[in-house]
Amino acid sequence: MAVDNYGVFTMQNSRQLRHKFILLAGVMLISFSPMAQPYLIKGRVVDATTRESLAFVNIVINGSNNGGVSDIDGKFTLRSPEPVAKLKLSYIGYQTAEFVPDISGREIIVKLKKQEIELAEVVITPGINPAHRIINHVIDHRSENDPKALASFSYISYDKLVVGTNLDSIPLTDSLMADTSFVRMKKFFDAQHLFLMETVSERKFLRPGKNYNKVTAARVSGLSDPLFVFLLSQFQSTSFYDELITILDKHYVNPISTGSTSKYYFHIEDTLLHKPATDSTFIISFRPFLNTNFDGLKGFLSINSDRWAISNVIAEPVRQSGVIEIRIQQLYAKVEGKQWFPVQLNTDFSLNNVEVVAGKTRVKTIGIAKSYLSHIVLNPVLVKREFSNIEIDVDANASHKTTEFWNTYRNDSLDAKERMTYHVIDSIGKAENFDKYGKTMETLLNGRLPLGVFDLDMNRFLHYNRYEGFFAGLGLHTSDRLSTLFSLGGYWGYGFGSKSATYGADGTLVIDHLSETNLKLELSHDVSESGGLPDFGEIKRLFDPSGFYNLLVRRMDILDLHQVTISSGLVKYLRAGISFFQSMKTPTYDYAYVRSQNADVTVLADQFHFSGLSFNFRYAYGEKYIRNSRSRISLGTTYPIVRMQFTRGIDGWFGSDYSYTRFDLIVEKSFYTKYLGTTSICLQAGAASGDLPYCNLFNGRGSYGEFTIYAPQSFATMRQNEFVSDRYASLCFMHDFGKLLYRSKHFNPEFAWCASAGFGDLSHPEKHRYIDVRSLTKGYFESGLLVNNLLDMKIYNIGLGAFYRLGPYAFSTFGDNIAFKFSFNFPF
């Protein structure tokens, strides 16, 4: 015989029952005793208007301190040793509700009504805020409760993203129901969603900071390849214990971070006592003080007195962007009876600029992303070799899992509306070839637009600089549709300012996809900046602000190049390439270089032949990638990125006239500081030795104009080609305060302070004829202020700025030292 917590028993065999009749009678008396059988209440809490499930609603039984909270799906199960006469439900932003529950055993639906809350400024009275004692306990115990403080852990995550509309929030009037367009829209959204995605992934963690996620299953409505969309589904930090909480790649100061009690207002909203246990849960609301200006959150924390751990949290940015509004929820539970661990994550968002229109009715697009963590193992035996720079690995068969597999991990089976979404959107996706658009978005990150078996090179289509003027061209490369083993391509274009054409061709052999080991041959007749920086073997991506400098380049050389390169990412965090090159550079400006000179004869050259070897590498420690069988996309790194190129020119090799050595270095680092903003630092340095004309030296990277575009990593007040060096070092510093200095309801300028310094020298200035030659031996300095986001165009924003030239090279006239700029930024 077995007796469970509810007093239900089963007979294991009749012989035992007969022999133990007296014992059974006693057990039956106990089982039916009101003291032993708890009263059970099950239900779900929803928004009264939208029917949206409400997570972590505080529920109190019979006006006592006993009760519980709803889970991330709004569901709750309550047990009470005494009859339940009344339930009281309270939730941030909603009216408190009290009612007599149905105790028949059926699941009850509780509807809460929204209410507007005016957050008045807090009047500080003498004494200590009692909530601070609890928050300080949480901060003191943060290191032991943070899952990332464990030696290791693993779990399986089931994630679901649903995108639909807020149609349910619109009151149905007679005039609205008479609108046939609205009725058709309502019928559509009553039957299905706009989009549905599910994934199953296995995560392993090894301290400090080593992560590996294997996406074993992925299903995306309308798509068969989930890589690009999976990137978009990463909404929030997994744990609420970090100093900064990341939501959609934006950082917010955690209310339980160091010093938060001086920035946030906390208030104890309620206290729950857990019987028969002795621990309590404190419900604490939080928001920034009204007179503060930082990227903060507002919401509720539920703190359990057992180890002062978070049991659940609701949070959203205090100041939502106009494009998207978002709210996150996290639920924690004890694992293995000791460690609090997140078990459910939820993200609600509203896309304010994406609307569905039917007649005169407009409805917003909304989404709900949920993650359910299971099979959690604390401190499993993991070794370092299980981890690499691939943080998210998408299994080749992820999109081909059976229904039985999915049902193993789904928290609930798909409802009729979700099944219809897959059926309808999959059919539309197949007919309209949604996979093509997904692949297009992925390829655009690399500057190419797919056109069947060819990719259109967007970087060759249209550009501008001060030498070529407006440039129009066409560049094509074969795509993966033709072959994944090789690529052939070429380009041709015409500069309307230079009145000349450029062209080239290249071929690439893919040796290994996963390490991106390639062999490339290229031939070109093009132009290159005189004394400019190399490309370090990288292709500039679209929307990269560092490319704005190229718009201002005036002094160019015609470049005829033959080059063979082998490159690879075999070594962790390192991508390297080695090239053999043969080139000829012809200045497009009046210039000559002294090849030799004696008392009677000076030999000048105005065309330069080079041959040699070049080695480049890019090292980004800690850089992570998402990968599938076809490609990988960088997820970035928090460490500095180092780019270096070493070039050795060999005299007499394939017609070369010059023997030289050149070294180029760029180090970049950006980091966010709470309450202050984002700091970006770029160090550039170079050295060249040997017999070298101007075209292979360093020009200073001046980007001056009375009113021009701001070009990062250049000198805004330095004239183009004002200085030349054969060895130099420069430092560009920017601190972006974002909206921390000023913000209002409709006007949110973003302030950034910039400062740059550079030093350089030139060994043989007498060898350069017909151009002005100055070096940076005394040091060049400038400083400026940018006010970004003065004009918000949603896809991009425009700002203004001014820079001033300082130090030994400053002009005597005040106005000559000033450069005015307009900034152009993409918010992605």
Indicate which CATH number applies to the domain containing 30.
Answer: 2.60.40.1120
Residue 87 and residue 60 in contact, taking contact as beta carbons nearer than 8 Å: yes
Check residue 14 and give its pLDDT. Answer: 40
Give the pair of three-digit tokens for residue 24.
């059974």
Check residue 43 and give its pLDDT. Answer: 87
- The whole-number mean pLDDT for each consecutive block of 10 residues of the chain, a chain of 828 residues, reads 36 39 34 49 85 83 76 83 82 82 74 69 61 92 91 93 82 78 84 86 91 88 57 68 85 91 90 70 89 88 91 89 83 89 89 77 85 93 88 85 89 84 68 51 64 85 91 92 91 95 96 87 96 84 78 95 93 92 96 86 92 95 81 83 96 90 96 91 95 94 92 94 96 92 81 96 93 93 94 82 96 95 80
69 and 165 within one domain: no
Check residue 30 and give its pLDDT. Answer: 33
d(CA 664, CA 534) in angstroms, rounded, equals: 8
345 and 296 within one domain: yes
Count how many residues are written for the chain: 828
Residue 684 and residue 730 in contact, taking contact as beta carbons nearer than 8 Å: yes
101 and 139 within one domain: no
Closest CA to 401 of 193, 211, 625, 226: 226
d(CA 163, CA 168) in angstroms, rounded, equals: 14
d(CA 495, CA 476) in angstroms, rounded, equals: 18
Phi and psi angles of residue 491, each rounded to the nearest 5 degrees, phi first = -150, 160
Residue 481 lies in a domain: no
Q: CA dihedral in degrees (509, 511, 512, 517; nearest 10)?
A: -80
174 and 106 within one domain: no
Closest CA to 703 of 685, 722, 717, 684: 717
- Last residue of one domain, picked from the residues 440, 457, 491: 440
199 and 103 within one domain: no
The pairing of strands 75-80 and 39-47 is: antiparallel
Closest CA to 303 of 315, 295, 291, 311: 311
d(CA 703, CA 131) in angstroms, rounded, equals: 54
Closest CA to 38 of 61, 55, 63, 11: 61
Check residue 710 and give its pLDDT. Answer: 94
SS3 assignment, position 764: coil
177 and 94 within one domain: no
Count CA within 13 A, CB hemisphere, residue 94: 26
d(CA 451, CA 180) in angstroms, rounded, equals: 40
362 and 312 within one domain: yes
Closest CA to 370 of 71, 49, 76, 168: 71
Give the pair of three-digit tokens for residue 86.
């009344």
DSSP letters for 460-486: GTEEEETTTEEEEEEEEEE-TTT-SSE
Angle at the Cα of 14 from the Cα atoms of 13 and 16, rounded to 5 degrees: 75
DSSP designation for 599: S
DSSP designation for 654: G
Check residue 542 and give its pLDDT. Answer: 61
Count CA within 13 A, CB hemisphere, residue 823: 27
**Distance from chain centroid for Cα 274:** 40
Cα–Cα distances in angstroms (integers) from residue 437 to residues 222, 228, 381, in the given order: 11, 10, 42
736 and 596 within one domain: yes
Residue 171 lies in a domain: yes
Angle at the Cα of 260 from the Cα atoms of 259 and 261, rounded to 5 degrees: 95
Residue 778 lies in a domain: yes
Check residue 275 and give its pLDDT. Answer: 60
SS3 assignment, position 211: strand
Give the pair of three-digit tokens for residue 774.
């100055």
Closest CA to 165 of 27, 7, 367: 367
Give residue 119's identity as a one-letter amino acid code.
L
Residue 125 lies in a domain: no
Angle at the Cα of 208 from the Cα atoms of 264 and 229, rounded to 5 degrees: 75
Residue 85 and residue 73 in contact, taking contact as beta carbons nearer than 8 Å: no
- Last residue of one domain, picked from the residues 389, 421, 440: 440
Give residue 283's identity as a one-letter amino acid code.
I
Give residue 564's identity as a one-letter amino acid code.
V
- Last residue of one domain, picked from the residues 440, 473, 500: 440
Phi and psi angles of residue 791, each rounded to the nearest 5 degrees, phi first = -130, 110
Domain range for 681 is: 513-825
Closest CA to 535 of 571, 569, 570, 563: 563
Residue 731 lies in a domain: yes
Residue with the two structure tokens 């972590």:
56
Domain count, the chain: 3
Cα–Cα distances in angstroms (integers) from residue 722 to residues 574, 691, 698, 712, 813, in the given order: 35, 22, 11, 18, 17
**Distance from chain centroid for Cα 273:** 40
Residue 475 lies in a domain: no
431 and 362 within one domain: yes
632 and 563 within one domain: yes
Answer positive or negative: Cα dihedral of 537, 539, 541, 542.
Answer: positive
DSSP letters for 378-432: ES----GGG--SEEEEE-TTGGG--HHHHHHH-SS---HHHHHHHHHHHHHHHHH
DSSP designation for 124: P
Cα–Cα distances in angstroms (integers) from residue 234 to residues 161, 391, 682, in the given order: 10, 13, 29
d(CA 765, CA 188) in angstroms, rounded, equals: 75
Q: CA dihedral in degrees (216, 221, 222, 227; nearest 10)?
A: -40
Closest CA to 165 of 132, 192, 203: 192
Check residue 389 and give its pLDDT. Answer: 84
Burial 212-225 (b: 16+ CB within 10 A, else e): bbbbbbbbbbbbeb
Residue 464 lies in a domain: no
Residue with the two structure tokens 């006469």:
85
Residue with the two structure tokens 């300012």:
497
Residue 52 and residue 298 in contact, taking contact as beta carbons nearer than 8 Å: no
Indicate which CATH number applies to the domain containing 648.
Answer: 2.40.160
Q: Which residues pair with 122 in a beta bridge?
A: none
Residue 549 and residue 714 in contact, taking contact as beta carbons nearer than 8 Å: yes
Residue 502 lies in a domain: no
| Helix, strand, coil percent values for the chain (each to nearest 5) | 15, 50, 35
Element (H, E) at 323: none
Cα–Cα distances in angstroms (integers) from residue 745 to residues 736, 737, 823, in the given order: 20, 18, 22
What is the arrangement of strands in the sheet containing 67-69, beginning at the earlier edge strand?
A: 67-69, 58-61, 87-90, 97-99
209 and 310 within one domain: yes
518 and 648 within one domain: yes
d(CA 662, CA 687) in angstroms, rounded, equals: 6
SS3 assignment, position 452: coil
Check residue 104 and give its pLDDT. Answer: 62
